[in-house]
Structure 1
Amino acid sequence: MRTGAVKYLKELGWDVIVVMPNYDTKEFKIEDDIWQIPFKGKHIQKLASLFERVGIYEDYLDKWLDYVLKYLKNKISKEDMIFATSGGELGMIKLGSLLQEKIECKFVVNFRDPLNYGYMNGLRRDKKPHIGRIKTHEKYIQNANLIITSSKYYADTLKRQFSNLADKIHNNYFGYIKEIDLSQYKKQLSDKLRIAYAGMMSSTQKPELLYEAYKKLNSSDVELYFIGNRKNYKPLQNIDDNNVYFIDFLPHEEFLKFMCENIDVGFVSLVNDYYGACVPSKIYEYINLGLPMLGVLPNGDGKEMINDMGFGLACSYNDICKLSENIKEMLDDKILREYKINVLDKKVEFSMEKKIKEVEILLKEIS
């Protein structure tokens, strides 16, 4: 998703240089406006993450920051803008904040996901031991000129947590990257409702909930497709059902072709209330594919988007009976067509090419 943001910001005329760690070698690489800066000393990810957990490091990238800060402070001017992204880590935000203090340039924080192990409305990402991060969270966003989230839920939470920054906090749904021309694919007809889950097979998503709801429905009019690696995920390993299919990860073009030609409904799931602050990227992918959706999700933007926009039906992840009822409702061809029409009507609104223009307006306001 961040690659897509860079692509479209460049197309809008912004000069973007990406700075990232080089985890593989001690070589400093510059290629296509991407600077890969190595760690100065030896980096052991597990050890760095442990030091973060117990509070020795503020972030697992701390040792890299010591090195890259010295390099970048002479490469950035007051007229530049630092756009620091987070997929849960603090490191890039910390780097941006420290550089802004030295250079006094504009500083933007972009939370693609909430800060890992930062408390969210009293919730945590998981039960693994980790020192609290509210103080460091606050410390490194205090001098931001702009804070962009990827969900209204998280934007509202940050505004409550850091009320003095409320007027700087804005939401932007990042959307799908490259629009698919659906006319190039021909749908294979079937007398069964074909539902697909595609993605990680893990306890965070619990895709087996779809199977449990299907079994409760006890209908031969439904087929399930699980696309991804289930080898190390026990809940899906012993399923033997003529209407349930397992497919290994597909190259993206093959995946798109398969979904467009064979699938009627996309299934999306997250099973932790903490993730109400996230909009699963799979939702944007299903919008791009023109697929109605079934979901089991915590309260938040993702569930609201599916239900309120008429993209399909999303219920709580702990309500298997409701999910089973929702599958049954999708068996009605008229209802299914209505959901599909709604998705296709809104499709263009969720392209990143369009959504990034909202970001550009915010960037120009602080320039």
Structure 2
Amino acid sequence: MTIREENTMPSLLMIINFFPPSAGGGVYRPLSFVRDLSNRGWDITVVTPQAGEFWITDEALLKKIPEKVRVARTMSLSGQRVMNALRSGRSGPSRRSSSGFGLVRALSDFFLIPDSYVGWLPFARNAAFKLVKQGHFDALYSTSPPDSSHLIANSVAKRFHLPWVADFRDPWINLYLKKPPTPIHACLHRHFERTVTKADAILVTTDWHEEILERLYPGARVVKITNGYDEDDFVGTEQMSPSGDVLTILHCGMLTLGRSSRPFLEGLAAFLSDTPDALGRIKVSFVGARESDNEYWVERFSLEDVVSFEDNVPHEECIRREAVSHVLLLIKHDTPNYNGLVPGKLYEYIGARRPILAVVPEGEAARIVLNTGRGEVADISKTRQIAEKLGVMFKLFMDGRLDASYNLSKIDDFSRRVQSAKLDELLKAMVGDNESKA
């Protein structure tokens, strides 16, 4: 008897590399889709690697996977898994060497195509083939990064004629966010992207990415479903609020080679130089995984008494910390190819309903903060502007007007439940179209 005969719920096969116990920004969107679609009546099976695929973990996230969701964990020989094994114990669980990782990543970009997770592809593809042969599935979903996840889904969709949604949390990494090492690499990545855009629907999270794909691939069905915040994460935080006479600024999330604390720290040093009375009245905490260079910049700007770093904490603790901080700090990459991206962390900050200081380039992320009235925006390339915006928020805090100066109301449009409802509607329409053709 097939799964379809046993269960009349629509069934969905999901190819997800970053899945609990892995942690980090790439986990929360697909995890929310898994949970919310399951609650909406989908019979879900997830294909994902065994634990150890990513260098950040949070065992508590496993509790967010509904019991009725089947999770097929496979072997993987990804380059990232090998790197994790090599770095084990060297820099701590939330810190890695900036110089060492930069070299390894450069080698990976050259030899591992389309990405360092391609070693998972044969195991995931075989597992997916086996699952589809054993039972009925109505639709297929894949999410990236890593982009190799879409190549797995492409094989499954072609073999079994399943309607397929390819969800790009970020654009194709080695085309838009990193320069391909050679023209041959560029051609290969463009070929792979073109292949994936033949999916039945392409999900994007930003206007910028939507415009690019519609221009390059006029025949593709591109649908924008933004990132969002998980309402359930904030249950119990409604009564929490910051206290004390010291302005607390929190950055909760990863700092990478491209997304560094340096521009903000340089602006902070300039602000404290202009406003020496603020010393002892402002504290900045960076919580989460980071490259080692970030500590260097704290020492370089003599900010040891103001700035602290903490290792990765469970996501629920991160949410609690956000709720009791005066200001939430958002930092983006300062290179032009990242200007169109909107960090998922911004939506989580919006869910936390605290003032935001966005140190970002001009673009969609800056517009969201300004249009919602959620906080201040400083151009990441302008040290003086960062110092000025810090000064604005510090003065509001000292005057007791910080919260009253910004719109901290709930914004339903950015709830993940709203985004999941859009995906649910899209998938059901695709399944209906597929059945009508049969």
When normalised by structure 2's length, the TM-score is 0.70
Amino acid at match of 1:358: K
1:97/1:140 contact within 8 Å kept: yes
Tell me the residue number matched to 1:358: 422
- On the 8 A contact 1:85/1:110 being kept in 2, the answer is yes
Identical aligned pairs, as a percentage?
Answer: 19
CA distance in 1, matches of 2:372, 2:37: 28
Report whether the alignment pairs 1:313 with 2:376.
yes
| Number of the residue aligned with 2:151 | 94
Return 5+ residue gaps in structure 2 as ranges: 1-27, 54-66, 84-103, 432-438
Structure 1 residue corresponding to 2:200, chosen from 145, 150, 164:
145
Structure 1 residue 260: Cα displacement: 2.7
Question: Is the partner of 2:323 in helix, strand or coil?
Answer: helix
Cα deviation for residue 98 of structure 1 reads 1.4
Aligned to 1:204: 258
1:184 aligns with 2:184: no
User: How far apart are the structure 1 equivalents of 2:152 and 2:264?
Assistant: 42
Give the structure 1 partner of residue 285 of structure 2.
226
Gaps of 5+ in 1: none
Alpha-carbon distance in structure 2 between the residues aligned to 1:339 and 1:306: 14
* 1:66 Cα offset (Å): 3.4
Note if contact 2:32-2:416 (Cα within 8 Å) is conserved in structure 1. yes
Which one of 326, 331, 336 corresponds to residue 273 of structure 1?
336
1:136 paired residue number: 192
Residues 78-117 of structure 1: pairs in structure 2 closer than 5 A: 80-87=138-145, 89-117=146-174
Q: Which position in structure 2 is the counterpart of 1:36?
A: 73
Match of 2:99 in 1: none
Moved more, 90-99 or 66-75: 66-75
Pairs within 5 Å for 1:236-247: 236-241=298-303, 244-247=306-309
Structure 1 distance, partners of 2:320, 2:52, is 34
User: Match of 2:192, SS?
Assistant: helix
CA 1:322–1:31 in structure 2 vs 1: closer, same or farther (change >3 Å)? Answer: same
Q: Report the AA paired with residue 188 of structure 1.
A: S
SS at match of 1:287: helix
Shift of 1:351: 2.2
- C-alpha distance in structure 2 between counterparts of 1:242 and 1:38, whole Å: 43
Number of positions where the alignment pairs a residue of Structure 1 with one of Structure 2: 349
- What is the root-mean-square deviation of aligned Cα atoms in Å? 3.2
Give SS of 1:135's match: helix
Corresponding residue for 1:11? 39
Tell me the equivalent position of 2:390.
327
Q: Flag the 1:252–1:22 CA change in 2: closer, same or farther, 3 A.
A: closer
Which amino acid in structure 1 is aligned with residue 337 of structure 2? Answer: Y
Taking structure 1 as the reference length, the TM-score comes to 0.83
CA distance in 2, matches of 1:113, 1:305: 18
How far apart are 1:105 and its partner, in Å?
1.2
Amino acid at match of 1:312: G
Deviations 1:322-357 (CA, angstroms, capped at 9, x unpaired): 2222222222358733454x23242x3322123211
- How far is the alpha carbon of 1:310 from its aligned partner? 1.1
Answer whether contact 2:142 2:149 (CA < 8 A) is retained: yes
Please say which of residues 144-153 and 325-334 is displaced more in the overlay. 325-334
Deviations 1:139-167 (A, max 9, x none): 2322x1111112221111111121221xx
Are the counterparts in 2 of residues 83 and 107 from structure 1 also a CA contact under 8 Å?
yes
In structure 1, C-alpha distance between the alignment counterparts of 2:122 and 2:130, rounded to whole Å: 14
CA distance in 2, matches of 1:51, 1:240: 35
Q: What is the Cα deviation at residue 16 of structure 1? A: 1.3
SS of 1:257's equivalent in the other structure is helix
2:373 is paired with a residue whose SS is: coil
